Structure 1
C-alpha cells in the first residue's frame, strides 16, 4: 500500500493499494489527484473497508453501496427521491459514523430531531423507511450484527389521517368552471378512470380505443430538470386496460378530432405536471369548492366506486394496485359506511 506525491509537478497525491473483496479475491486500486496526503490516506482506508464486505465502513460508504444496488432495481424517480432524503435528512447525522457503531439510542435521538420539524406524518414514515432499508441491506449483505432500526419503533404513519376527495356534486361544480379544454379533458380522465397524473399525461392517441371504450395504461410521465421523461408505470400491475364511461368517450372523441392532424404516436396532452396541479386549486377556488390535490381525483374515483358497491378486487385492478391488500389499506375507512346497507339487505332476507 502506498500514498505518494504525483510526479507531474502538480503537488498532488495519489493512493495505490491492494484490497480483498467479499469473495476473497485481491484487487489493485489507484486514484490520483488528492490535494493532501491525508485525503489520499482517508480514501484508501474508506475504499478498502467499503469493498471488504464488513461493517467497519462509514455510514456514507454503506449508503453509496446501497444506492448502487437500488439503481439496478428501482425507477429513476424513486432513486432521485432517495438521494434527496439521504442528503438532507440522514447523512448529516450518520454519514461519518461507522455503520456497526450506530445504536438504537442514536436512531431514537435522530427521530426526535426529525419529529420536531414541520414534516407530515407520512413524510416522516418515508424518511424512516429509507433509513431502515439501508440497515436491512447492511444486515443482509455485510453481516451487520445489530440492526438499530429493529429496536426502535418507526416514526410517522403510513397513511394520512384524512383523505381528501370530491363528491360527484363537488366535481361537477369545479369542472363546470374549467375553461381550458386541455385541462378539462385531463381532469375528466383522472376523475372517471382513477389513473395517476403521470399516467394521464403520458397518454398517446393510440392508447385510446373509442370502439371498445378502453384506455391502455403502459407508461408514465415524470418532470426532471425541466424535461418530460416517459418511463414504465409505477409497478408491474400499473400496466392495465381501463374501461371508459360513455360520456367520457364522447368527450375524448371530440378532443382528439380537435387536434391538428394527430398521429397514433402523438401525445394527447402537453401540460406539465406542476401546471396541472396548480390549476386545479385555482378552479376549486373559482367554484367555491374545497381545494384538493390532483392525486386526490384518484381517491375521488375510488370512493365513488366504493359507494356504488364495487368489490375491492375490481377497484385494485382498475387503479393498478399491487394487491387487494393495498386497496383495503388505503380505503378501508370508507367501507364502514356500507355496513348499514349490508345490515338492511340481510334483514330483508329474514
Structure 2
C-alpha cells in the first residue's frame, strides 16, 4: 500500500506499507514501512524490491541474525509450557535483568567466549547466587544451537567463579547456637514466629512448604507432617501449588517437643482468632486475620530478631541447612536425610552439606580409630 503525505515543509512525499509474510523464526507476521519517496513510481519500485528480496533471501536481517533477546523470548514461550508458574515467573525475571543489563540489542552469534567470561564475572560480583542467571543464559544458547542459529555455546568454555555464601551469614547453626536461638525466641518472639522457626529447624522443611501447611496436613497424635503444598506468589498474589518435585511430596515424623510446640501454637492461634473475631482458619502459620504469612516479612523478622539479640546471622533457608547438618552430626544416613528433605536425588544432599563443622570432622577421625582398633 502506497500513501501520499506532506512533510513539515509542505512538500509531497510517498510512503509504503508492505506485508512481507510470516517470519519462520518467530512465527509472527512481518510488515515494514518506508518513507521519503519523491514519486509514487520510486515507492512502487522499492516495494517490488523488498518483496523480491524476501522471496529470494528470506528475512535475512531478522531471522538469520537474531538478537539474544529474540532467541530468549522464543525459548521462553516453549519453556513456559513445561514448568510451574512460579518457575516461569522467576526465569522471566532473571531473563529481563540479563537482557536489560548485559545483552541489550546484541546479536546472539556475536557473543564470544571472552565476552561471556566478562559477563559472568560481573554477575558473580553482583549476585551471590549468580549461577541462577548463568543457567538461564546456558539454556538460551542450547536452544539457539538446536535451531542452528549458533554453532557453539560460549558458556561451555568459560571459567566459573567460585560461588560463596555471604560472609556475614552462617550456612548452618551448631547445636548450641540453635538451642540458644530457640530459647530466646520462645521467650521474646511472637508465638507464631517461634513455632515456625522451631518447626523449620526440627523438620528441614522449605520455607514455602512450611508456610503452606494446613492443620489437616499435621497429625499431632501420630506426630507426622504430610508435605503436600507449597506457598508461592504468582502475579503478586499468594497461592498454593504442589511441592517442588515428586520427591518433595512426603511424610515427616516429628519429635515430642515439636509436637508440643505445634499444639501450644494451635491453642494460641484459636485465642487470637477469637480475640480478633476471625473465623477459624486451616492455615497453620497464619497472621492474626487467618491469612498466609508474608514470605518477605517472615525473612525480615528472623533477620531483625537475630540482630536484636546478637545471635549468629542465618537465613530462613539456613534453618533447613541446620536441620540437615545436625542430622549428619547425629549419624543419620545420607539416604534418610535426602528422603526427609525431599531432595530429588541423594547427590543433591551430599553436594549441599559437605560443610562439616569441627565436631563432625573430629567424629570422622574417632570413627576411623574405632574401626581400626576393632
Structure 1 and Structure 2 fold alike (TM over 0.5)? yes
Distance between the aligned counterparts of 2:23 and 2:233, measured in 1?
A: 42
Match of 1:199 among 181, 202, 209: 209
Uncovered stretches (5+) of structure 1, i.e. residues with no partner: 7-11
Match of 2:19 among 16, 26, 48: 16
In structure 1, what is the equivalent of residue 367 of structure 2?
A: 342
1:60 CA drift (Å): 1.3
Question: Normalising to structure 1: TM-score of the pair?
Answer: 0.80
Q: Does 1:106 align with 2:109?
A: no
Question: Normalising to structure 2: TM-score of the pair?
Answer: 0.75
Distance between the aligned counterparts of 1:49 and 1:5, measured in 2?
A: 24
1:226 CA drift (Å): 4.7
Larger Rg computed on CA atoms: 2
Deviations 1:67-109 (A, max 9, x none): 1122112232232222232222344433423323322232123
- Closer/same/farther in 2, CA of residues 263 and 167 from structure 1, 3 Å limit: farther
Deviations 1:163-185 (A, max 9, x none): 52222322222222333111111
1:20 CA drift (Å): 6.5
Distance between the aligned counterparts of 1:28 and 1:176, measured in 2?
A: 62
- Closer/same/farther in 2, CA of residues 114 and 300 from structure 1, 3 Å limit: closer
Equivalent pairs counted in the alignment come to 324
1:225 CA drift (Å): 5.5
In structure 1, what is the equivalent of residue 29 of structure 2?
A: 29
Q: CA contact under 8 A between 1:192 and 1:244: conserved in structure 2?
A: yes
In structure 1, what is the equivalent of residue 256 of structure 2?
A: 246
Helix, strand or coil for the counterpart of 2:225?
A: strand
Distance between the aligned counterparts of 2:3 and 2:256, measured in 1?
A: 75
Q: Does 1:267 align with 2:275?
A: no
In structure 1, what is the equivalent of residue 9 of structure 2?
A: none
- Closer/same/farther in 2, CA of residues 158 and 37 from structure 1, 3 Å limit: farther
In structure 2, what is the equivalent of residue 9 of structure 1?
A: none
In structure 1, what is the equivalent of residue 243 of structure 2?
A: 233
Q: CA contact under 8 A between 2:21 and 2:29: conserved in structure 1?
A: yes
Match of 1:78 among 79, 84, 87: 87
**Root-mean-square deviation (Å):** 3.4
- Closer/same/farther in 2, CA of residues 4 and 235 from structure 1, 3 Å limit: farther
- Closer/same/farther in 2, CA of residues 153 and 29 from structure 1, 3 Å limit: same
In structure 1, what is the equivalent of residue 352 of structure 2?
A: 330
Q: 1:48-87 counterparts in 2 under 5 A?
A: 56-87=65-96
Deviations 1:91-142 (A, max 9, x none): 4433423323322232123334445x4432xx22222222111101111244
1:302 CA drift (Å): 0.6
- Closer/same/farther in 2, CA of residues 56 and 345 from structure 1, 3 Å limit: same
Match of 2:137 among 127, 131, 135: 131
Uncovered stretches (5+) of structure 2, i.e. residues with no partner: 5-14, 36-49, 287-292
